[in-house]
Amino acid sequence: MKLEIAVLPGDGIGPEVTAESIKVLKAIALEFDHNFIFTHAPVGATAIDSHNDPLPEESLSLCRQTDAILFGAIGHPKYDNDPNAAVRPEQGLLKLRKELGLYANIRPVQAYDALLEQSPLKKERIAGTDISIFRELTGGIYFGEKHLSEDGQQASDLCAYSVEEIERITRKAFEAAQHRRKKVTLVDKANVLETSRLWRRVVKDIATDYPEVELDFLFVDNAAMQLILRPTQFDVVLTENLFGDVISDEASVIGGSIGLLASASVGDRHAMFEPIHGSFPEGAGKGIANPLASILSAAMLLEHFGLYSEAGMIKTAVDRSLELKITTPDLHPENTQITTSKVGDFIEDFISHPNDSNINFANVHLGQSTII
């Protein structure tokens, strides 16, 4: 298959982790005889520095023309604490989501057996967790009208949803549930918010088209608690933009590191794949960033195009790296020698020689491998 992929590495650790995904995708292309063409473009704080715009027109038009987008991370501390900043890196990401109509953000959360000890949560609670969060990504309070009074004493952000916006992501969530454990949990605040009541009405209606899928409802405050108390009760979690942002970071604790969480942002015409972690500026350039979230996002890219064996190969390689503890120090603090690119090398090498990984493990540790 020929795929044109726009690469937007962005800020902080974005470029480092994205480089590992490209390495892995190139290995897949070689192994499975595909033609993946990568074109880089600026976004975020980097693009503000070079173009005075967090999403330059050339980057947006590249994304419109390509089959898929591989995104790194966005954000820089110099903008975070400056409420007066006229442009912010995050605007680049939000504009990209909106302009490309990427309304469904899919965030898988899994408790890896090899990492049960790494989670701050009790392993008997999290073992077996396998959740797919469907976060609405182009509506709600993120995109509603914003207002700051002239005297600076009052501000508001409007949360608005239309039936159509709710319907399209709901269908995607139910379709995914049909291929999973056939359960959708709508997370909302219907006891308080009018938008949540609209969500309930629309989701209930659509559920009748999927009779084999069970639908239940949870208020977001309760859901935040249940996610930590009994995460195995969830299959597909469907929610609006802001709630999805919050609970997906919370859910990342289950997997042991936010450095493992991949995501796909999908619309009717375009699709973008990105790790859910941020730009981690303190970690940039040190080789300590965990590339697995980005690499798993690349696997989601392959799945999006029906390349399931290829995606499966990456996931097996990631499982193997976790079993063999070939990870960055966020997962195993003693691994001070295992850098971002060594983890990527291991995954790449596994794809080329799947039966050889024990040897590779020894070599990585002894520093003797050709892949070092």
Max Cα separation, the chain? 67
By the 8 A CB rule, do 240 and 188 touch? yes
* Residue 136 within binding range of ligand IPM, rule CB under 6 A: no
Cβ closest to ligand IPM, residue 53 vs residue 245: 245
221 is catalytic: yes
245 is catalytic: yes
Contact letters (x/-) for ligand IPM, 38-77, by CB under 6 A?
------------------------------------xx--
Cβ closest to ligand IPM, residue 34 vs residue 189: 189
216 is catalytic: no
* Residue 218 within binding range of ligand IPM, rule CB under 6 A: no
Q: Residue 12 binds which one of Mg ion, ligand IPM, none, with CB within 5 to 8 A depending on kind?
A: none
Structure tokens at 306: 């029906």
Q: C-alpha 72: how far from its chain's center?
A: 10
Q: Residue 202 binds which one of ligand IPM, Mg ion, none, with CB within 5 to 8 A depending on kind?
A: none
Min CB(249)–Mg ion separation in Å: 6
Q: Residue 256 binds which one of Mg ion, ligand IPM, none, with CB within 5 to 8 A depending on kind?
A: none
Q: Which of 67, 172, 183, 249 is catalytic?
A: 249
Q: Residue 74 binds which one of Mg ion, ligand IPM, none, with CB within 5 to 8 A depending on kind?
A: ligand IPM
Min CB(344)–ligand IPM separation in Å: 22
How many CB atoms are located within 10 Å of the residue 193 CB? 15
Min CB(264)–ligand IPM separation in Å: 12
* Residue 90 within binding range of ligand IPM, rule CB under 6 A: yes
Cβ closest to ligand IPM, residue 227 vs residue 338: 227
Q: Which residues, including other chains, have CB under 8 Å from residue 359's CB and lie 6 or more apart?
A: none
Positive or negative torsion for Cα 217, 223, 229, 231: positive
249 is catalytic: yes
What is the DSSP-derived secondary structure letter of residue 114?
G
* Residue 245 within binding range of ligand IPM, rule CB under 6 A: yes
Q: For the packed helices 89-99 and 57-65, what is the interaxial angle rounded to 10 degrees?
A: 30
Structure tokens at 208: 């009748």
Compute the distance between CA of residue 177 and CA of residue 331 in angstroms, rounded to an integer: 30
Pairing of strands 271-275, 104-110: unpaired
Q: Which of 49, 80, 157, 221 is catalytic?
A: 221
Residue 169: strand, helix, or coil: helix
Q: Name the β-bridge partners of 135.
A: 105, 239
Q: Residue 90 binds which one of ligand IPM, Mg ion, none, with CB within 5 to 8 A depending on kind?
A: ligand IPM
Min CB(166)–ligand IPM separation in Å: 18
By the 8 A CB rule, do 112 and 319 touch? yes
Interface ranges with Mg ion (CB under 5 A):
245
N-to-C CA span, the chain: 30
Residue 288: strand, helix, or coil: coil
| Closest by CA position to 239, among listed 218, 260, 257 | 218
Structure tokens at 9: 């590495």
Min CB(93)–ligand IPM separation in Å: 5
Residues 260 to 319: which contact ligand IPM by CB under 6 A? Answer: 276
Cβ closest to ligand IPM, residue 25 vs residue 93: 93
Cβ closest to ligand IPM, residue 74 vs residue 198: 74
Q: Which residues, including other chains, have CB under 8 Å from residue 174's CB and lie 6 or more apart?
A: 184, 206, 207, 209, 210, 213, 236
By the 8 A CB rule, do 135 and 105 touch? yes
* Residue 11 within binding range of ligand IPM, rule CB under 6 A: no
Q: Which of 142, 235, 330, 342 is catalytic?
A: 142
Q: Which of 11, 53, 188, 245 is catalytic?
A: 245
Residues that bind ligand IPM (CB under 6 A): 74-75, 90, 93, 245, 276
Catalytic residues: 142, 189, 221, 245, 249
